Every structure is written in structure tokens, then in C-alpha cells.
């Protein structure tokens, strides 16, 4: 049976003599894996259409188990991303996190559109890749049901004010200093980080390019998203 998809190439892995296993994030069925037979032979045309991060229209022939990729056409290759080694490396990491956090074959149009808008915003504003990547990760947490509660303390419900506050991993939210005293899974969180987490939650990817943030803010965000990701694993 033939299945048609629109998807973003999340990753690939060589298997057998000349085959390759691809992982896509598709509009129709979420994460989909399929094999391209003979794709590593020099005359294979398919390989050029299946580069990492490309948005492709592809078809899979499938009966039972994993299917074979029959055709693929690149719709968008986000070429600016490919010219910057640092950015590429960064996105490889983000894509492997994304792959790990997401289950196979669960349709989620909001997630697809988030991933697509991340690549699109990056491609148009490559110099903003740090803030876009952090924005994407925090929006992804929200989309996966781990949205960070940041207005009120997750324990006493008092409004969060500037000053000493903590991130509570267990409840995925901000805790005031008083309530955080007894917590074991916590990290101190700056007022700037809280502000940025709020901005991420209520803005689209392409609006985040307007943000001007310091290197310290980026590092704080990176530490928090990294730790939260480890905790979710």
C-alpha cells in the first residue's frame, strides 16, 4: 500500500550494504521511519532529496512493518542553515532531543508546524539561532504537555515576583523561595529567564527574532532546557 507524506528529515542511519533508514517528522502521522533501498549507490537519485532538515514530499510502500521509500521531492531545503557549521551542529543536537522526546506514529499537527516554523525562522534569521533554539525547546515542552507554569508559585499560588525563585522539575513550574526550601529537584531561576519563558509561551517562532538577549540569558536558558530535558528522559 502506498502512503503519501509531507515531512521533515529528522535523521538517517546506514543499514546493510547500500540502504539507509530515515526518520521523518510528518504532518500526517508524526514520527515515521522508512528505508531507502540502494540509496548509497552512486547512481541513486533519491539521496539528494533526503538530506537532514529538508522538508520533503515522499511516498512509502508499506504492508507490514517498516516501509520502503518509493519517491521523495524536496519542498524546502533551508539552505542558509546548511552553510553554518555551528548552527548545523546545534540543530543536530536539537533534532536528536526532539526524536528522543517524541513517540513514533502519533499525529500532531501543532508539533509539525512548530518544527517547520523553527526551521523557517532559523533559515531567515540565522544570526538569531541561539534564542530561536531556546524558544523552540520551551515551546516544545509546552506542546508535549510540560508547559512551564510561570505566573504563580506552583506550591502556594502566590504571584511570582522578581528576586529569588526556583524551577521545580517535578511540577514543571516556578516556585517561590519559601516553598522551594523543601524541594530536592530544583534550580535557581533568574527573573530574566522567567520573563523569557513567558514570552516563549505566548509568541510564535517568527516573533522571537525581535528579542535581544545577553549571552548570560542564553546560557541560563540553555542550562534550564538541558536539565529539564534530562529530567524528562
Interface residues with Zn ion (CB under 5 A)?
153, 155-156, 176, 179
Least distance between Zn ion and beta carbon 166 (Å)? 9
DSSP 147: P
The answer to whether 232 and 146 have CB atoms below 8 angstroms apart is yes
Cell triple for 200: 516563549
Report the distance separating Cα 166 and Cα 144, nearest Å: 22
Nearer to Zn ion, 102 or 180 (CB): 180
Of 153 and 208, nearer to Zn ion (C-beta) is 153
- For residue 167, the minimal CB distance to Zn ion (Å) is 13
How many degrees, rounded to 5, is the angle at CA 135 between CA 77 and CA 50? 20
CA dist 30 → 8, 83, 99, 106, 179 (Å): 10, 28, 11, 5, 39
Identity of the residue, 55 or 176, whose beta carbon is nearer to Zn ion in the bound complex: 176
* Contact (CB, 8 A) for 27 and 5: yes
Nearer to Zn ion, 89 or 151 (CB): 151
CB of 59 to Zn ion, least distance (A): 54
DSSP summary character for residue 191: H
Smaller CB separation from Zn ion, 156 or 188: 156
Task: State the minimum distance, in angstroms, from the CB of residue 142 to Zn ion.
Answer: 22
Q: How far is the CB of 232 from Zn ion (least distance, A)?
A: 23
Helical residues (DSSP H) of the chain, grouped into ranges: 79-82, 85-101, 109-124, 129-141, 177-180, 191-201, 215-232
Amino acid at each position: 500500500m502506498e502512503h503519501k507524506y509531507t515531512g521533515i528529515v529528522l535523521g538517517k542511519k546506514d543499514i546493510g550494504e547500500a540502504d539507509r533508514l530515515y526518520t521523518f517528522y510528518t504532518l500526517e502521522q508524526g514520527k515515521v521511519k522508512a528505508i531507502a533501498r540502494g540509496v548509497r549507490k552512486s547512481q541513486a537519485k533519491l539521496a539528494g532529496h533526503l538530506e537532514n532538515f529538508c522538508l520533503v514530499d515522499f511516498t512509502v510502500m508499506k504492508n507490514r512493518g517498516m516501509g520502503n521509500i518509493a519517491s521523495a521531492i524536496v519542498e524546502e531545503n533551508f539552505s542558509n542553515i546548511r552553510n553554518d557549521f555551528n548552527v548545523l551542529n546545534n540543530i543536530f543536537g536539537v533534532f536528536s532531543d526532539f526524536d528522543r522526546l517524541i513517540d513514533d506514529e502519533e499525529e500532531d499537527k501543532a508539533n509539525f508546524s512548530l518544527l517547520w516554523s523553527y526551521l523557517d525562522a532559523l533559515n531567515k534569521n540565522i544570526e538569531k539561532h541561539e534564542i530561536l533554539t531556546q524558544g523552540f525547546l520551551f515551546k516544545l515542552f509546552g506542546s508535549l504537555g510540560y508547559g512551564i507554569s510561570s505566573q504563580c508559585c506552583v506550591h502556594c499560588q502566590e504571584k511570582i515576583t522578581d528576586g529569588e525563585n526556583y524551577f521545580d522539575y517535578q511540577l514543571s513550574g516556578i516556585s517561590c523561595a519559601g516553598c522551594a526550601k523543601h524541594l530536592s529537584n530544583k534550580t535557581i531561576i533568574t527573573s530574566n529567564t522567567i520573563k523569557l519563558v513567558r514570552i516563549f509561551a505566548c509568541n510564535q517562532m517568527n516573533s522571537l527574532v525581535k528579542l535581544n538577549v545577553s549571552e548570560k540569558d542564553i546560557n541560563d536558558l540553555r542550562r534550564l532546557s538541558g536539565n529539564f530535558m534530562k529530567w524528562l528522559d
